[in-house]
Amino acid sequence: MFIVCSNCEFKYLVNSADLKPNGRIVECANCNHQWFQDLDNTEITSSVPSLKKDNLDQDLQNILQQEKPEKDPVKNLPSTVLRHEKPSLINSTIAIALVIIIILAILIYRSYGLNTFVIVDFFIREFLFNLNLIISDLAKIIHNTLN
């Protein structure tokens, strides 16, 4: 269940079992604002019912007096704070630069790519041919030396 602090707009993901059976008073970890969270109020829009400011403080005091304290009262509910990070300008710039580099590499490959692969293939085959000649010449020299 999502709840939102009406004071600072922090969003929390709370287990609804912690609010059973009749709801309870919760406290925002960010601004220490307290309000009564009912189990039926599952909207994300606001954590406090829409009341006038004068009545809100009086209703909160009435709710605080009506709720009986437990043996070990829990100050805050176990919850997860939901924070929305703003996109990083540096990461966005790097991503755009990489996309531009990839597009340029594809364009260069289309213009000169076939010749490049032909030359690389030629050098690899030439290297392997020369390596084969060297190994066969060494084998002949070793064979003649041992016999």
Asked if omega into 69 is within 30° of 0 (cis), the reply is no
Band (pLDDT 50/70/90 cuts) for residue 47 is: very low
Output the CA angle 79-80-83, nearest 5 degrees: 145
| pLDDT tens readout for residues 84-129 | 777 789 999 999 999 999 999 878 777 776 666 778 789 999 999 9
Residues 30, 81: Cα–Cα separation, whole Å: 9
Residues 140, 108: Cα–Cα separation, whole Å: 47
